[in-house]
Amino acid sequence: MSTLQPENPSIERRIALQRVGRIDPESIDDYLAEEGFVALRQLLQSANPDSVIEAVTTAGVRGHGGAGFPTGRKWYFVAKADAPVKYVVCNADESEPGTLKDRLIMEGDPFSLIEAMIIAGFTVGATTGFIYLRGEYNLARHRLENAIRQAEAAGFLGRDILGSGIDFSLHLHSGAGAYICGEETALISSLEGYRGEPRSKPPYPTQSGLWGRPTLVNNVETLVRIPPILRHGAAWYRASGTAGSPGTQIVTLLGDVNWRGVVEVPFGISTRRLIDDVGQGVKGGALKLVQSGGSSGGIIPPEWLDLPLDFDSGRAGVVLGSGALLVCNAHRCVVDLTTVVMAFFRAESCGKCVPCRVGTVELHTLLQRLTEGRGTLRDLSLLETMGAMVKRTSFCGLGITAPNVLLDGLRHFRDEYIAHARDHRCPAAVCAMQDSAWGELPHLATVG
Amino acid sequence: MSTILLTIDDRKVHGESGETILSVARQHGIPIPTLCQLQGASTFGGCRLCLVEVEGIAHPVSACNTPIKAGQRVTTQSPALRADRQMVLELLFAERNHYCAVCVQNGDCELQSAAAQAGMDHVRCPYLSPSLPVDASHAQYVLDHNRCILCMRCVRVCAEVEGAHTWQMAGRGIEARLVADNGVPWGESTTCTSCGKCVHLCPTGALYRKGASVAEMQKKRGFLLRILEGRELGRTGEEPTDDFLVPTVEIRS
Ligand SMILES: Cc1cc2nc3c(=O)[nH]c(=O)nc-3n(C[C@H](O)[C@H](O)[C@H](O)COP(=O)(O)O)c2cc1C
Ligand code: SF4
Ligand code: SF4
């Protein structure tokens, strides 16, 4: 993984990553010297929380946690909720495979997240905030703990912030390594001390979240966009991106490319430009596919490389999700890829609902048979039926997205699955097929 | 509270705001299959059997936790729903070891009858056949993990009605297991009051009375609402009706 290189203005625009790599993330003085806490100071002076909602709404910020929900609307819902206590929660559980954006922000610019959360608290009327941090993120935890201490000492956190009469305290909570705790209602259960399992929506967290109070849950990358928007205005933010997805998006580029790393680009850029201009081309062979949005995302076939990447491109079949792009060259096997993805969901399903708890295990079992040369065409048709069923019927987003890569794979690379199932052959020569005599056994068993 | 009008299976029905599709359907005698749902305990939403179609929503929704809305058009029976419900049941039968012919609950099992009603006559996916223990350490009752469908009824009724909080779910995904007192044999639990509520509300033969042999376990299911009704009478100070005083609850041990 390469670290950040100097910004290349012909393709990049750094907003969320503006300070990362340029300041000492352990020094509040460095942060203050780079326009740190300017937006907060101005806001506390103007004492006009509605102006924040207006700016965020006009800027068109949408959630970077995966779902793309309009951030201004979410803030408005919590702000107008009538309750004596409200909370602000930062979703920093970043567990989507191949996604490293929130980590880079928290390790490289932790004060920006703190400033954004204080602004969020002031705007919606919350005096307590929580950061739910992925358990494995040790450096980020260290940097955030340090930043919270320094911000408290400097009067930005705690009681009567900068003499404004506003209070806000911030607490850091480390997760215990479950992917499901990134789902906002499971995160809330976990934060309350319960088993990390999703809850029914409605009620949405904006109405009844943490301890039954209206709660604002936002992703790290979403939050850190707010202070620069308040400083420079919505028009400045909208200067890049598309009409439906204004601004920028952090992309984690991985796999068979010559340069791998994290880059912030305007929305609407094509996958091809990211691979060619940022990734410096495909490594080790021709391009076969790009897996976008992490394990819960989808597959971009070569024919779709020129489609723009934004929140609405999902309609065309290109899933942006967490911004992860895994590039695969011609030596990769799509059935192998699907099996690895399904193993992830099998391990991460919380177990609450039947389709996801059992379905991911069955799908993984059937896929493993294919990669071992023990599959049948009947298995293949069951994979397709069950994959669609798990997607349709699961309780939460985990089960709903778990079959995405499988279903996209079957849509774009059906011949490769058929070669595994019928001919017990792996065209990319990745899967270690067993002796065909063994491959016939399940056949005989099911025929009776 | 305000009255809401909606349509379920082409019938005009009404409910109060805040009610779920399931509860309104039941009040109007429209059957929707369920397994984890337990009247008198909180909603869980895990079994996915109560899926229904709502006009304008692309995927089916679970009736037990979806609130009614004015003008909603709900369909409870369709070939697609039947197929999805069948596959949910297939997955449950494939997950653990359900051998009705040798089960204490044969003939009085909610999983078995749900499968019969849904027309689930075979299982297409591989049986996972896990090796699971049977916990017979309790003096009166047995927990057979092989037949547990993780519906959380026992967990909910133990916590919400009995107040003992004996049962919990441990482990994740396919490794999820019911545990007493965070992982001791049931007989060593210091919180269990041996009230038997979990046993009688468990939909399958996972929880049963010791000594029951094949097809001998008959579960009492009606007592929960009577207990809650009695508590409500106690709270309001109202006189119980004659109807309420007729004893129908009898828990064998
Ligand atoms: C299985 C699952 C995992 C998720 N993981 C994360 C995560 O790690 N980080 C995150 O910000 N959002 C995650 N989400 C999305 C959250 O539920 C929620 O939509 C998001 O935190 C809202 O913030 P936003 O509006 O700023 O995007 C996940 C969702 C699902 C269904
Ligand atoms: S889809 Fe169901 S089993 Fe899977 S994580 Fe969500 S609630 Fe848990
Ligand atoms: S023991 Fe019975 S009631 Fe408890 S979770 Fe298992 S099937 Fe449900």
Confidence at residue A1, expressed as pLDDT on a 0 to 100 scale:
46
Q: Are residues A216 and A84 in the same domain?
A: yes
| Shared-domain flag, residues A263 and A278 | yes
Residues A43/A230, Cβ–Cβ less than 8 Å: yes
The answer to whether the CB of B202 is under 6 A from ligand 3 is yes
Contact between residue A93 and residue A133 where contact means Cβ atoms under 8 Å apart:
yes
Please tell me if the CB atom of residue A395 comes closer than 6 angstroms to any atom of ligand 2. yes
Q: For residues B206 and B144, what is the distance between their CA atoms, to the nearest angstrom?
A: 5
Helix then strand then coil, % of chain B, to nearest 5? 30, 15, 50
Residues in chain A whose Cβ is within 8 Å of chain B: 178, 180, 195, 200, 202, 346-355, 357-362, 365-366, 382, 385-386, 389, 391-395, 400
CB contact under 8 A, A357 and B150: yes
Largest CA distance in chain B: 56
**Checking phi first, is residue A180 left (phi over 0); if not, alpha (psi -120 to 50) or beta?**
alpha
Give the distance from CA A86 to its chain's centroid. Answer: 25
Q: Residue A312: what pLDDT? A: 77
Cα angle: A11, vertex A14, A16; to 5 degrees: 140
Cβ B172–A348 below 8 Å, yes or no?
yes
For ligand 1, what atom is nearest to the CA of residue A182?
5
Q: How far is A339 from chain B (nearest CA, A)?
A: 16
Could you give all domains of chain B from N- to C-terminal order, each with its CATH number? 3-77 (3.10.20.740), 85-236 (3.30.70.20)
Parallel, antiparallel or unpaired: strands B3-8 and B167-170: unpaired
Alpha-carbon distance of B174 to A180, in angstroms, equals 14
Look at residues A123, A90, A115, A113 and name the one whose alpha carbon lies nearest to residue A205.
Answer: A90
Closest CA to A113 of A226, A266, A261: A226
Locate B184 and state its tokens.
């001791």
Crossing angle of the two packed helices A377-393 and A414-422, in degrees rounded to 10: 130
| Nearest atom (ligand 1) to Cα of A198 | 31
Same domain, A315 and A373: no
- Cβ(A338)–Cβ(B166) under 8 Å? no
CA angle, residues B50, B56, B57, in degrees to nearest 5: 45
Helix (H) or strand (E) holding A174: strand A169-174
- Is residue A341 located within the same domain as residue A421? yes
A277 CA distance to ligand 3 middle (Å): 56
Could you give the CA distance from residue A155 to residue B159 in angstroms, rounded to a whole number?
44
Q: Determine what percent of chain A falls in helix, strand and coil, rounding each to the nearest 5.
A: 50, 15, 40
**pLDDT, tens digit (0-9, with 9 covering 90-100), for A372-405:** 999 999 999 999 999 999 999 999 999 999 999 9
CATH number at residue A81: 3.40.50.11540
Question: Tokens representing A55?
Answer: 């700016």
Q: From CA A191, how far away is CA A211, in angstroms rounded?
A: 9
Neighbour count for residue A206 (Cβ, 10 Å):
23
Name which of B31, B218, B252 is nearest B110 in CA terms. B218
Domain membership of residue A21 (yes or no) is: no
CATH classification at residue A288: 3.10.20.600
On whether both A160 and A230 belong to a single domain, the answer is yes
Measured between CA atoms, the residue of chain B closest to residue A442 is B126
CB contact under 8 A, A393 and B95: no
Is residue A209 located within the same domain as residue A356? Answer: no
Q: Which of A392, A370, A374, A398 shows the shortest CA–CA distance to A383?
A: A370
For residue B148, which ligand has an atom nearest its CA? 3
Same domain, A99 and A147: yes
CA–centroid distance, residue B202 to ligand 3 (Å) = 5
The pLDDT value given to residue A84: 96
Q: Do A354 and B174 touch (CB under 8 A)?
A: no
**Which stretches of A125-219 are DSSP H helices?**
138-153, 184-191
Q: Is B63 in the pocket of ligand 3 (CB under 6 A)?
A: no
**Domain termination site, one of A176, A211, A238:** A238
Q: Could you list the residue range(s) of the whole structural domain that residue A264 is in?
A: 248-329
> Under an 8 A CB cutoff, do B172 and A350 touch?
yes
* CA distance to A144, A169, A312, A364, A423, per residue, from A289 (Å): 37, 46, 20, 21, 23
pLDDT at site A311? 80
> Beta-strand (E) ranges in A272-330?
287-292, 298-300, 324-329
Q: Is there a domain that residue A272 lies in?
A: yes
Q: Please give the ipTM for the structure prediction.
A: 0.94
Q: How many Cα atoms are found within 13 Å in the side-chain-facing hemisphere of A207?
A: 5
CB A144 within 8 A of CB A133: yes
What is the pLDDT, as a whole number, of residue A446? Answer: 43
A270 vs A284: CA distance, rounded Å: 22
Contact A353 B173 (CB under 8 A): no
Is there a domain that residue A22 lies in? no
List, for chain B, all residue ranges whose pLDDT scores fall below the cut of 50: 249-253
Would you say the CB of residue A295 lies under 6 angstroms from ligand 1?
no
Tell me if B211 sits within 8 A of B199, measured CB to CB: no
Note whether A49 and A165 are same-domain residues. Answer: yes
Quickly count helices (H) and strands (E) in chain B: 7, 10
- C-alpha A246/C-alpha B132 separation (Å) is 53
Q: How many structural domains is chain A composed of?
A: 3
- For the stretch B74-115, pLDDT in tens is 999 999 999 999 999 999 999 999 999 999 999 999 999 999
Give the end of a domain, one of A193, A213, A238.
A238
Is the domain of A225 the same as that of A259?
A: no
Name the nearest CA neighbour of A370 among A359, A360, A386, A381.
Answer: A381
Using the structure block, give the residue that is written with the tokens 């991106």: A241
Q: Which residues of B touch A392 (CB under 8 A)?
A: 59-60, 84
With respect to residue A168, please indicate whether it lies within any of the assigned structural domains: yes
Ligand 2: nearest atom to the Cα of A350: 8
Q: Is residue A9 part of a domain?
A: no
**Which of A336, A366, A373 has the alpha carbon at shortest distance from B124?**
A366
Please give the distance, rounded to the nearest whole angstrom, from the Cα atom of residue A354 to the centre of ligand 3: 13
Question: CB distance B172–A353 less than 8 Å?
Answer: no
Confirm if A178 and A196 have CB atoms less than 8 A apart: yes
Q: Residue A10: inside a domain, yes or no? A: no
d(CA A117, CA A151): 12
C-alpha of A20 from chain center:
19
Cβ atoms of A284 and A331 closer than 8 Å = yes
Both A106 and A227 in one domain: the answer is yes
Torsion of CA B33, B35, B38, B44, to 10 degrees: -110
Number of neighbours of residue B5 by Cβ within 10 angstroms = 12
Closest approach atom of ligand 3 to CA B147: 7
Residues A357 and A431 grouped into a single domain:
yes
Please report whether residue A1 resides in a domain: no
Alpha helices by DSSP H, listed for chain B, are 21-27, 79-95, 110-118, 153-157, 197-201, 223-236, 242-245
Residue that finishes a domain, picked among A263, A298, A329: A329
Q: B73 CA to chain A: closest CA distance, Å?
A: 19
The C-alpha of B28 sits at a distance from chain A's nearest C-alpha, in angstroms, of: 24
Q: In what order do the strands lie in the sheet with B73-75?
A: B11-16, B3-8, B73-75, B51-54, B61-62
Residues A132 and A266 in one domain: no
B168: phi then psi, degrees, rounded to nearest 5 = -145, 165
- β pairing state of A87-92 and A215-219: parallel
Which residue ranges of chain A lie beneath pLDDT 70? 1-4, 313-317, 435-448
Angstrom CA distances, A246 to A18, A57, A65, A128, A268, stand at 17, 11, 16, 30, 9
CA B5 – ligand 1 centroid, Å: 35
